[in-house]
């Protein structure tokens, strides 16, 4: 299901699409099986999703995949949205079937959110550089259809592999360096199964039988990720309910039942735990809140902004202290 009002220019023969726009506000966006990375090229804009709000300034970026979001309070803001269809990467086993990412390259942004200076960390600098390189490829002359598609596919592959290597949502809870390769692979295998069965009631015993592991081992395994089995299943179900809240008129009780909650009170508790609001409040906020106020641009119209951000990236990499 999709709730996508932005115009996307999909590049034929690739899983990649792009949208360039000046924005004052943008209504709720929601999409499945697509990774979107939003980069502010000029000005600033506030992005809201769930219970979080982020202020994007020139050069800053954030990834969005399974969460609904909207943009408000744009101030002379120009943005680029990079879109990556995830299905081809899942088929090639680059991205796990439950693949989700957590990536926000920010400076300190005042009292809305302080990302602890992620902006200058090497993995963020490299991702910003890769995104800028893809923009440069798109604004250059198409030397030949096949060659151009190969360049875009190569750049998109590098970006997706970088996202998997450094911005898997698992690393939001535990630094990658503290996890073994075996642990990461098993975690993806288990969470893939849990995501595919998110509308069912999954127990540790079921996982134990399916993967031939003891319940005590599995319980300790999930605790090591700083996200227990119970919290993981409650998140998957609450997250899966977003599209039903936004794209259907089903009652809260119906949605709770569809998402595998035995009681609507359990759904309310799980949703509030992760979103800091009730399902009804979320629906009201995101389904009927903000209108589209944006103007679309061609990539060549933002050459100057691309150059400014690219030069800053080069300077920060040159003088980095890591």
The 10s digit of each residue's pLDDT in 195-226 is 999 999 899 999 999 999 999 999 999 999 99
CA distance 279 to 40: 30
**Range list of β-strands (E), the chain:** 2-3, 9-10, 16-31, 34-49, 52-57, 61-64, 69-85, 104-105, 293-296
Average pLDDT along the chain: 88
Considering only residues 55 and 35, tell me which one the structure prediction assigns the higher pLDDT.
35
Residue 116: per-residue pLDDT: 44
The model's confidence at residue 29, banded by pLDDT at 50, 70 and 90, is confident
Residue 113 pLDDT > 50, yes or no? no
Residue 157 pLDDT > 90, yes or no? yes
Residues 134/15, Cβ–Cβ less than 8 Å: no
Helix (H, G, I), strand (E, B) or coil at 112: coil
| Nearby residues of 315 by Cβ (< 8 Å), 6 or more positions away | none
pLDDT tens, position by position, 70-100:
888 787 899 999 999 999 999 888 888 777 8
pLDDT tens, position by position, 134-146:
999 998 766 567 8
Question: HSE on the CB side for 233, CA within 13 Å?
Answer: 19
Residues 184/215, Cβ–Cβ less than 8 Å: no
**Backbone φ, ψ for residue 74 (5° rounding):** -70, 135
pTM of the model: 0.90
CA distance 233 to 13: 36
Residues 180/163, Cβ–Cβ less than 8 Å: no
Residue 82: per-residue pLDDT: 97
Question: Domains in the chain, ordered, with CATH?
Answer: 2-171+292-318 (2.60.120.10), 176-225+227-287 (1.10.10.60)
């Amino acid at each position: 299901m999709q709730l996508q009002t932005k115009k996307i220019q999909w590049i034929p023969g690739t899983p990649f699409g792009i949208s360039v726009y000046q924005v004052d506000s943008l209504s709720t966006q929601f999409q499945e099986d697509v990774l979107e990375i939003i980069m502010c090229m000029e000005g600033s804009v506030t992005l809201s999703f769930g219970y979080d709000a982020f202020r994007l300034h020139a050069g800053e970026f954030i990834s969005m995949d399974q969460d609904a979001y909207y943009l408000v309070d744009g101030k002379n803001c120009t943005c680029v949205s990079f879109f990556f269809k995830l299905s081809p990467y899942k088929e090639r086993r680059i991205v796990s079937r439950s693949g989700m990412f957590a990536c926000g390259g920010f400076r300190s942004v005042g009292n809305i959110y302080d990302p602890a200076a992620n902006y200058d960390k090497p993995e963020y600098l490299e991702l910003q550089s890769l995104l800028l390189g893809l923009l440069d490829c798109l604004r250059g002359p198409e030397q030949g259809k096949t060659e151009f598609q190969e360049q875009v596919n190569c750049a998109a592959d590098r970006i997706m592999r970088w996202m998997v290597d450094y911005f898997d949502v698992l690393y939001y809870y535990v630094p990658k360096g503290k996890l073994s390769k075996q642990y990461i692979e098993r975690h993806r295998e288990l969470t893939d199964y849990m995501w595919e069965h998110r509308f069912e009631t999954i127990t540790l015993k079921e996982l134990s039988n399916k993967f031939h592991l003891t319940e005590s081992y599995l319980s300790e395994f999930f605790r090591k990720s700083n996200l227990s089995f119970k919290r993981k299943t409650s998140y998957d179900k609450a997250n899966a309910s977003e599209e039903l809240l936004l794209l259907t008129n089903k009652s809260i009780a119906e949605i709770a039942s569809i998402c595998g909650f035995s009681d609507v009170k359990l759904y309310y508790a799980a949703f509030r735990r992760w979103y800091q609001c009730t399902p009804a409040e979320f629906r009201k906020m995101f389904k009927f809140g903000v209108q589209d106020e944006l103007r679309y641009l061609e990539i060549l119209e933002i050459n100057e902004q691309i150059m400014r951000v690219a030069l800053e990236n080069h300077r920060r990499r040159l003088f980095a202290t890591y």
